[in-house]
Chains A and B, each alone.
Chain A
C-alpha cells in the first residue's frame, strides 16, 4: 500500500499530528476511529472494550507520534498501537475475571440466563452476529473485521499485520466457514 501524499490524505494528518497539531489528531480520530475500534474488538473479542481502549490508543498515538519513522507506514503503526492496547486490555480483563470468578465461587449460585424480553430486542440480530465474530479465533477475527468494517484490501491487511497476502486470504476463507456455521438458522446462539 505504498501511497504518496496525494493518494493518502491521512498521511498529512499524521505528519501534522506528529508536529503537535491537535486539530489534525481530531480529524485523524474522526476518519480512522471506526477501524481502530474494529481492531480493538478483533484483538480482544470484547465489543464493550472498544470505546475505552480507543481512547488509550489515541493517547498513545499523540504521545508517540514522533516515533513514527516512516509517515507512509502510519496505518501499520496505528494498527500496532491499537492491537497492543487491546491485547493489554484483554490481559487485564482476564486477570479481573479470574479474581471475580474466585469471588463469585464464594457467593450462592444464581440464574444467569438472559431475560426473555432481552432475547426479543430489536438488536438481537446484531448481537448474535457480533457474538459470532467475537467467537472467531483471533487470527481470523482481525482480518475479517479490518475487511468488513474498514474495507481494507488484502494487501493493506497483510501490511498492517505483517503477514503474506496468501495467509490473509486463507484466514478470511476460514473466517467465512466459521461464520456461516455460526449464523446458520439452526445454529446455537
Chain B
C-alpha cells in the first residue's frame, strides 16, 4: 500500500464516515453517534461494505492474536517456576550503598598515599645500603654515599672498631671482625694468650637509619657485630 493510499480513505467513503466506522468497531461511539452512523450506513452501501470488510479483518486478526498470545498457563505457576531462578531483587540498602562508597574512597586514598610515600622511580633505583659484611667484587662501583650516611658509618662501625683493638690487660680478649679479618678466625694473633686456645663467637645485629634530605632518601645500615672470645685452653684445665 502506497503512502497516498494509506492517508486517503477508500474510494466513495468520506474520511469522517470511515473514522466513525472504526470508532464503532472499537466500541468508542456513544449511543446517539452510533444510531446516526447506522442511519448513514443504510443509505450508503459503499460505507456499509467498508464496515463489513473492516469488521472481517478485525475478526481474523483478533482471533489470530488471541491464538498466538492469549492466556496460556491457567494459573501462571508454570511460568513462575521458569522465572523464579531469575527473580533476584538487587540490594538497594542505604547502609550498603554508604559502605560501598566508603570502601571505594578508602581504596583510592590508600592508593594516593602509597604513591606519594613510595614513588615508583625510587623503587627502580638501587637502594644504597651500607653493610658490615665483606664487600664482594662488584662490576660497577658502588654509588657515593652522602655525608650523613658516611657519618653514620663512622659512628657505628669505624669508631667501635678502633676502640676494640685496644689490647686487653688479661689473657682473654674480644676480637672484632673487619673486612680484612673475618670473624670467627680462631687463629687471630693474640700475643698475650700463649699456648692452645679456644674461641666462641657471638653475633649482634644492629640496623641504623639515616635520612638524606637532599635526595629525600632513607639509607639503612645493617651492622653485624661479631665478637670472638678467645681464651687459653690450658688455663681452664
Q: Hey, which chain B residues are within 8 Å of A38, CB to CB?
A: 65, 69
Contact B53 A180 (CB under 8 A): yes
Residues of B within 8 A of A133 (CB): 61, 64-65
Task: Report the interface size for chain B: residues with CB under 8 A from the other chain.
Answer: 48
A83 interfacial contact with B, CB 8 Å: no
Q: Is A71 an interface residue (CB 8 A)?
A: no
Contact digits for B43-71, partner A, Cβ 8 Å, 1 yes 0 no = 00000000001101110111111111111
Specify the main secondary structure of chain A where it touches its partner: helix
Contact (Cβ within 8 A) B57 A37: no
Q: Is the CB of B83 within 8 A of A181?
A: no
Complex CA gap A38/B73 in Å reads 16
Q: Is A29 an interface residue (CB 8 A)?
A: yes
Bound-state CA distance A58–B80 (Å) is 9
Q: How many chain-A residues does the 8 Å CB contact rule pick out?
A: 47
A138 within 8 A of B: no
Distance in angstroms between the alpha carbons of A184 and B60 in the assembled complex = 12
Is A177 interfacial (CB 8 A cutoff)? yes
Chain A residues lying within 8 Å of B237, measured Cβ to Cβ, are none
A59 interface residue (CB < 8 Å to B): yes
A125's partner among B64, B69, B84 (CB-CB below 8 A) is B64
Q: How far is the CB of A160 from chain B (nearest CB, A)?
A: 16
B residues apposed to A, CB below 8 Å:
1, 5-7, 9-10, 18-19, 22-23, 25-28, 53-54, 56-58, 60-77, 79-80, 82-84, 86-90, 92
A-B contact pairs, 17 of them (CB 8 A): A29-B80, A30-B73, A30-B74, A30-B75, A34-B70, A37-B69, A41-B69, A125-B64, A130-B65, A148-B62, A149-B69, A153-B27, A169-B19, A169-B23, A172-B22, A177-B6, A182-B1
